A = this chain, B = another copy of it.
């Protein structure tokens, strides 16, 4: 079960006994920890340790460093790029029990949490404070995991991603040192930006054990427009125009007609099964009202065929719950499919062409695939659902995927808007950053983790 150059100990329990953390070598536990939100099992870790304190993590890292054992950090297990598999075996560090909210500081609009706190847990805790934490990937991921993959979601168009919303992290290094990457000042020009280096490093440069994140005031007023279009290009051009006009939307989401159908069936909705934009305006009652008029005009200019407004909180919430569940709803369209998703992001001016060319490529192939995404950022996902009974569909889907990534990179975009690289996209990293950029990343990895024990086999090709 383990491979590579790592010497594996015989008695895992004895080795980690002094840490005081619970350890399991049961196959079912190990298997659960090698699986993200994809439906295949990756290579399993040899053992799963569940620390409850920074000191336990540090102690475990020290043992792993001395014995050259790979460490795979694990949060909620919601990676869809193979981020939690154990290609070289080793120790899975399940941080989900480190789930204390350490401080909420409304006066500074920040909060400090342990890495295992999830986004819904933090927002439930904040409920009556007037503040919320906006970054919202589909899954209820841990904040440590979200920081590690530089995650985002529907709110990024207004509030940014984990890059903008992580103020500081505490990490345990591959050398078993505890390092806090920054203070809590809003800005600093004191030295290299270690926080931004750790955010998105997918556990390969340090294990995030706690983090300080930005909170945002809950907007006074919300309104959600649902606009249907006959034509995909018109929908995307509507988005491009709204972004260029600088409307202060908090979400601009796109679902194609197939994804809408899947949401209807799964979430008990009854939306027209058409190409649809969801545009959420947030602000003061007056600013929302003013932008409502603008959105209606731009949508009409782009041949929207129906605009429906929801401004009651329950109606908005139901819609966004369905949107967050869309990935799973779409997966159910083809049970047993070796489904996979793309995650490209392009400059907004290239979005209409990128989406349209991709749709043509899919249509030519006869494959089932849905398109959905955070189009206000230029980010969209194609969920490929090859039929497991049709030979050749997986290969065809992979071909479309590869062409999509190359298309996005040629448009000065990225292969990964928010899902990270994991094991799945490592070769795409070279296509995107070139040998020179990847060489810099390798040099950094070598310098900060000379024994290559931190999540080996991830991110770097």
Contact B448 A185 (CB under 8 A): no
Does A161 interact with chain B (Cβ within 8 Å)? yes
**Copies of the chain in the assembly:** 2
Please, how many residues of chain A have a CB less than 8 angstroms from a CB on the other chain? 88
- Chain B nearest CB from A102 CB (Å) reads 13
Given known contacts A290-B284, A348-B107, A441 and B194 CB-to-CB distance under 8 angstroms: yes
Does A4 interact with chain B (Cβ within 8 Å)? no
A347 and B105 CA atoms in complex are apart in Å by 10
With a cutoff of 8 Å between Cβ atoms, the chain B residues found around residue A189 in the complex are: 149-152, 161, 200, 343, 414, 416-421
Does A286 interact with chain B (Cβ within 8 Å)? yes
> Interface code A168-198, partner B: CB below 8 Å = 1, 0 otherwise?
0000010001111111111111111110110
Does A459 interact with chain B (Cβ within 8 Å)? yes
With a cutoff of 8 Å between Cβ atoms, the chain B residues found around residue A108 in the complex are: 347-349
A412 and B412 CA atoms in complex are apart in Å by 38
> Interface code A224-245, partner B: CB below 8 Å = 1, 0 otherwise?
0000000000000000100010
With a cutoff of 8 Å between Cβ atoms, the chain B residues found around residue A246 in the complex are: 217
Given known contacts A436-B178, A443-B447, A193 and B187 CB-to-CB distance under 8 angstroms: no
Contact A429 B191 (CB under 8 A): yes
- Chain B nearest CB from A331 CB (Å) reads 21
- Chain B nearest CB from A410 CB (Å) reads 10
Q: Which chain B residue shows the least CB distance to A446?
A: B447
With a cutoff of 8 Å between Cβ atoms, the chain B residues found around residue A379 in the complex are: 185-187
Contact B190 A429 (CB under 8 A): yes
With a cutoff of 8 Å between Cβ atoms, the chain B residues found around residue A446 in the complex are: 447
With a cutoff of 8 Å between Cβ atoms, the chain B residues found around residue A183 in the complex are: 347, 409, 412-414, 432
Does A369 interact with chain B (Cβ within 8 Å)? no
A182 and B183 CA atoms in complex are apart in Å by 26
A297-353 contacts to B (CB < 8 Å): 343, 345-349
With a cutoff of 8 Å between Cβ atoms, the chain B residues found around residue A268 in the complex are: none
- Ordered by A's residue number, 30 sampled pairs between the chains whose C-beta atoms are within 8 Å are A105-B349, A107-B240, A109-B244, A152-B189, A173-B440, A179-B434, A180-B434, A183-B413, A185-B346, A185-B378, A186-B347, A186-B348, A187-B379, A187-B414, A187-B418, A189-B416, A189-B419, A189-B421, A190-B416, A190-B425, A191-B200, A191-B441, A192-B441, A193-B193, A193-B196, A194-B440, A286-B287, A287-B287, A440-B448, A447-B447
